[in-house]
Structure 1
Amino acid sequence: MSAYLALRGVSPGPLFIFPGEAPVTKSFFATQLKKSLTWAGLSPSCYKGHSFRIGAATAAAMQGVSDEEIQRMGRWQSHAFKKYIRIPMLHLR
């Protein structure tokens, strides 16, 4: 990821872009994700592009990032992002 970010630069916009700064399409991302998972011996049926939105929102929340920043990073216009945050609950006996 560090190597990609060094090549991508700091221009605003989507994280994943093609050379020339065109955004990577959902269909391209989904196809590449499926190929990568298959290559790694993982079931593509267990992962979708949306898994990244869930993972990013959850990781940010667990690191104490504010709701407003999570909403901005995910380009959410509503509070729908809150349903993506999946922080494990501690089970006490």
Structure 2
Amino acid sequence: MLVSRFPGKPSDPLFSRLARPFNHTWVIDRLHCLLRDAKFDPTNFSGHSFRRGAASTALEAGLSVHDIMQLGRWKSDSVQRYFSQSYHSLLNLSR
């Protein structure tokens, strides 16, 4: 859907708007707008919500902690704080 709303050249950034990369402010403003439309409190979400979700999803997908640290530009083991157990992994533990 993004490609149809924001078409670009092959040399443009993968995620862009009018051949410019999305910036942090635009993404968070858009996220908060969508959350309000869906009747969620946007103050419960931030850019770190994406960071935590991406780290947890990557770990569940089998990426090594080392690779996740490189992708997220973590320099220390503080990445461990971003890992959360998914509903499915918690369900499997309870069995």
TM-score for the superposition, normalised by structure 2:
0.68
User: In the alignment, which residue of structure 2 is the partner of 1:84?
Assistant: 82
Deviation at 1:83, TM superposition (A): 1.2
The answer on 1:43 being equivalent to 2:38 is no
Q: Which runs of 5+ in 1 are unaligned?
A: none
Q: What amino acid does structure 1 have at the position aligned with 2:17? A: F
Deviation at 1:35, TM superposition (A): 0.4
For the residues of structure 2 that align with 1:64 and 1:48, how far apart are their CA atoms?
25
Name the count of aligned residue pairs: 87
For the residues of structure 2 that align with 1:60 and 1:8, how far apart are their CA atoms?
28
Q: Could you say what secondary structure the match of 2:16 adopts? A: coil
User: Which of the two has higher C-alpha Rg?
Assistant: 2
Q: Which runs of 5+ in 2 are unaligned?
A: none
User: In the alignment, which residue of structure 1 is the partner of 2:69?
Assistant: 71
The answer on 1:18 being equivalent to 2:17 is yes
Higher strand proportion, which one? 2
Runs (4+) of structure 1 exceeding 3 A deviation are: 3-11, 88-92
TM-score for the superposition, normalised by structure 1:
0.69
RMSD: 2.8
Q: Percent identity?
A: 30
Q: Could you say what secondary structure the match of 1:28 adopts? A: helix
